[in-house]
Amino acid sequence: MFPLHRGRRLRVNESIRSLVRETSLSPADFMFPMFIMEGENTKVEISSMPGIFRRTLDLTVEEVKELFALGIRAVNIYVKVSDDLKDNTGKEAWNDNGLMQRAIRAIKAACPEMIVMPDVALDPYSIYGHDGIIEKGDVANDATNDALVKMAVSHAKAGADFVAPSDMMDGRVLRLRQGLDAAGFHNVGIMSYSAKYASAFYGPFRDALDSAPKDADVEVPKDKKTYQMDYANRIEAVKEALWDVEEGADMVMVKPGIAYLDIVREVKNAVDVPVTVFHVSGEYAMIKAASERGWLDHDKIMMEQLMCIKRAGASLISTYFAKEAAILLNK
């Protein structure tokens, strides 16, 4: 039969393709994850994440200014905590003069319009590398929630726009909302890591913060599978996201990204709040490694993956490629 419908008519050239393109990217779609350390005028490249650095506060502020000039409007910040400040309570996490709190203040002072979303979890502060307080050989859910509330309120006092709980404790979004409201921070939002899977893609991130579970002289879980999600599950992700929305989350997150686009779409269809996707360290590292060997075209595969994440339903993409992608888009 003679084809009455020819899809190729809409693909003849780039001008036509751009007219009918269903999904677009801009620098404002990205959030840049940043690692911060103590010291001055120093940055240290993370060996498993080429091009990504731990920076001291002064250099972090300069980087944030560059990001904002490129059109990026949000940063997700993490701190490398000295071993002598780690314990099983995580109390350094709510030290009003701690590194995270000083970082929030410094960024907001230098670039007030940059949205700052500090990580809320105890693993950078834990001697055991877990996201919560260890009791009787496991992570204690409710005791950890009490600590997370103190942490989030401390972040809000420092000037955070959103808090970003990545711990996966049950009920923590409600506790955080109640705690923030009770402290007068009604306009500080919650971006909840709702569907965070127990993934092997996080390895380079744990290198950056020394936050992997550690051997200990007491019984501790050997991994994070008692609180992070089983990657075989799909319906559970929707359930977790809906629970977080009911508890007061302003945004929900799916993590990892490119390997979980089915989950992104499921969650997007189920909730009525923005969906954030974390294009995680292992996904970043694989592209870097393959492109360094000449197996992939770095910029093309980077932009394709980011576009696919947006197409799947992401309102915001937390990605280590944010700066590189923004530079390309601005060209």
- Residues serving a catalytic function are 196, 255
Distance, CA of 165 to CA of 205 (rounded, Å): 16
Token output for 72: 């990026």
Measured from the Cβ of residue 257, the count of other Cβ atoms closer than 10 Å reads 27
Token output for 244: 């977080």
Q: Which of 227, 109, 304, 45 is nearest to 319 (CA)?
A: 304
Strand partners, 55: 36, 43
φ, ψ dihedrals at 111, nearest 5°: -145, 75
φ, ψ dihedrals at 16, nearest 5°: -65, -45
Measured from the Cβ of residue 292, the count of other Cβ atoms closer than 10 Å reads 11
Query: Residues with Cβ < 8 Å from 241, sequence gap 6 or more?
Result: 194, 195, 252, 267, 270, 271
Distance, CA of 147 to CA of 34 (rounded, Å): 23
Question: Residue 229: how many CA atoms within 13 Å on its side-chain side?
Answer: 25
Question: Residue 9: how many CA atoms within 13 Å on its side-chain side?
Answer: 5
Query: Residues with Cβ < 8 Å from 307, sequence gap 6 or more?
Result: 23, 25
Distance, CA of 294 to CA of 171 (rounded, Å): 46
